[in-house]
Amino acid sequence: MGKEKQKCREFPFLKSLYNGSICGERMEVTIQLAFGPLWRDSRGQVVASISRKDAAQGKESPVVCFGEILIDFVPNESGVSLAESSGFKKAPGGAPANVAVGIARLGGHSAFIGKVGEDEFGYMLADVLKENKVDNSGLCFDPNARTALSFVTLRPDGEREFMFYRNPSADMLLSETEIHEALIRKASIFHYGSISLIEEPCKSAHLAGMDIAKKAGCILSYDPNLRLALWPSAEAARNSIMDIWNQADIIKVSEEEVKFLIGSDDPIDNEVLLMKLFHSNLKLLLVTEGSAGCRYYTQMFQGRVPGFKVNAVDTTGAGDAFMAGFLKKLAGDPSLYRHEKKLKDALLFANACGAITVTEKGAIPALPTKEAVLEILSRAST
């Protein structure tokens, strides 16, 4: 005979503030505030979240970032192999997580959905999100898989190569049933990459998240973040990245990714790029060009925004910082891509975010504050 379901104790005298009840032997409390739910993190601590009602009152709805979060091990020296490095500095990373933290550090509202191992690194990453004011209520823990690790080799110019420890890591095991649907439905923007498309069950979870976001009216933001070493083959990577291409409202790619996707090493030709990568429903295509800046393409206009010359130490996270800067601006003005002046201003801000990030090692540790970005913009204008 099954165990009788325990009844919850109600508190009518507190209903003006919240609907509360205490259930079970551990006296766990579920609270529903007037403006929306309070979610609890993996350790039972409350994580504040922004509702659509908040947005109506002038607060930005959150940008929800979906995908991998991991630990990058960055060598102490540049220009040496992993075997030759004297030591490594651990740094939290993972492109979607970088974007979420980047937005929050700039003063925006962001949330993250993904999975880590129930291990010290996993708890560390959960704490990193929380400390940076990212809603981590969508982060799941897997007791049977480890948190993903990546070792980064830095060339003398700050460019990098990766060696991943996954197969499988916890981020690959996020299932559709573990998606925090309510978190997505109250978002203004749903941002994702392509690494979560490599293996099941995460691929199905990724596609389900996109579907929920689309039906909820979110802007779909896509940065493929190509990491060929993780894919079974280049063909598999290209096919999977392009399979969801036409669903995105905004896409950001690097010059190298453009060449990979169109299958040519020739200098990028605008006509070829638009023919192969600009679909009829796309609102904005962004192509980053490192220190040179970025190109933008909409259905109405196209152009280029200059970058910033800095001494690059580590380019890890530069594209994510760029995306964080742009999405922060977009969340505050969802139609800015329709106005070229507003778009160029937002992209200049994004370029500054990327430039600052490459001056330090690691991704999340190097992401800038709003004040740092405004300072570099001010210096550039004088």
Of 356, 107, 95, the C-alpha closest to 222 is 95
Which pLDDT score, from 0 to 100, does residue 157 have? 62
Q: Quote the DSSP letter at residue 291.
A: G
* pLDDT above 50 for 19: no
* pLDDT above 70 for 223: yes
Which pLDDT score, from 0 to 100, does residue 59 have? 60
Which pLDDT score, from 0 to 100, does residue 40 have? 37
In CATH terms, the superfamily for domain 59-68+94-147+166-381 is Ribokinase (3.40.1190.20)
CB 220 within 8 A of CB 210: yes
Per-domain residue ranges of the chain = 59-68+94-147+166-381
Helix (H) or strand (E) holding 266: none
User: Confidence class of residue 75 from pLDDT cuts 50, 70 and 90?
Assistant: confident
Which pLDDT score, from 0 to 100, does residue 149 have? 95
Percentage of the chain lying above the pLDDT 70 cut: 82
Percentage of the chain lying above the pLDDT 90 cut: 68
Least confident of 8-22, 60-74, 174-188: 8-22
Per-residue model confidence as pLDDT tens digits over 324-337: 999 999 999 999 99
* Burial letters 51-72, b for 16+ CB under 10 A, else e: bbebbeeeebbbbbbbbbbbbb
Least confident of 11-15, 69-73, 127-131, 183-187: 11-15
Task: Tell me what the pLDDT averaged over the chain comes to.
Answer: 85
Least confident of 29-38, 120-129, 146-155, 187-196: 29-38
| Average pLDDT estimate for 139-168 | 84
21 vs 19: CA distance, rounded Å? 7
